[in-house]
Amino acid sequence: MFEYTLSNGVIVSPGKKTYTGNLRIKGDKIVSPDSCEKDKSVRIDLNKKSYVYPSLINTHDHLQGNYRPPVGPKKGEFYLTWLPWDKDLKASKTFQERSKLTREDLYAFSGYKCLFSGVTTVNDHFPHEINKHLLPTLPIRAIQEYCLSHETTSYDLKWGDGIEIEHKRAVKNKWPFITHLCEGFDQEAMDSIDILEKINILDKNCLFVHCIAFNDEDIKKVAKAGASISWCGHSNMFMFNVTAKIRKMIKAGVNVTIGTDSSATGSANLLAEMKYDRELYRKLYGEDLCAKKIFEMVTVNAAKAFWMQDKIGALNEGMLGDVLVLKAKHDDPHENLVNAEMKDIELLILAGKPIYGEMRFLDVFNNAKIKQNDLPRGYTKIKVGNRTVFVLGDPAGLYNEARIKIGFKKKLDYMPFEPDTKITMKDSGKEEV
């Protein structure tokens, strides 16, 4: 069982005053720093030079679709609904290239898209029959306790067992019911809230994605119901040249979260999405969306939308040890997060288990009785910038194999390294290039 303390870190958690202190992990949970058993204690001194956050949560992605470059409308044009985009995608060079990879490859890349941006929890908006065997194989947590539909229009993709059945199941199990909503401007899309109201599906279980065609009355109804929104600003602007009325949603008290959508239309990852959405807000409204609010959208708000607020999204005792440690480059901890790059991640922890980090954090693996600078089983080394880091799994091997299948040296902007660095897999005991 992992048992260690991150000491002298600047602790940043929603709803609490930032302070310099210790964060104690035992097993998969955060515990009181005073609960330390001295003979078992491993202490990593952050020397007041690192910010410690709850790791990030992405409320909307399609893990099979995370391939680049993006596919969108012709220059100077935009879509009326998502449907013509789907046709353009399937006719694109991106899709032809992507089809050379297996579904397992694409999901593995998506897991690392999350990991390398500090995300440990994501929703893969696909039906369970597509992803149920793949989600447990990822290096991060893709939630499996959710119900869904594709959307509410007559031309939706008919995911799940039907809107009413899926929603009823979500209510019974206290899971989120997740659906695209108002993703377009034909009459059916714009009537989405009315359609849901008629079948009594508008409540706190609902997590609605996109919502670009909401009117003021729709926003009031969603706020009153306690439903959540996943804002995907980059994808919205790329496809439709408009996004959700996000300022009105925030002022109305809607629980707003942030999603990337797939990188076929959206940002490279959640770090990029936070920056894009903030700049978009400034352009739309002539005012700033404060960094603290964005921090809440990707932590505590997102946890609430997933019905997991007692487990993730904050650094409270008894919650899962999902932790992101970032280099301190700004005096303000929230600005530090929103302006962070992939190269600024020093350590990422999922349920107490370090899954990515600088080599100086290898001490947390002491219970595994490994030698200094060696790796525990199932980890590899890669080079990110000028740092050697450890990572769960073999992303370099994945990247190399994908390039062989595709037929050229493909670059994916959410993979922050070149896979020609030597790595060592302890499972095989062999070096691979």
Report how far apart, in Å, the C-alpha atoms of 247 and of each of 27, 41, 42, 64, 77 are: 40, 47, 45, 31, 26
Q: Supply the pLDDT for residue 121.
A: 98
Q: Supply the pLDDT for residue 35.
A: 65
pLDDT tens figures, 123-152: 999 999 999 999 999 999 999 999 999 999
Its pTM stands at 0.94
3-state secondary structure of 9: strand
- The rounded distance, in Å, linking the Cα atoms of 246 and 79 is 20
Q: Supply the pLDDT for residue 431.
A: 34
What residue has token string 């450890």? 390
Using a 10 angstrom Cβ sphere, with 0-12 exposed, 13-18 middle and 19 or more buried, the burial of residue 261 is: buried
Please list the ranges in the chain whose pLDDT falls under 70.
1, 35-41, 366-373, 421-433
Q: Supply the pLDDT for residue 363.
A: 83
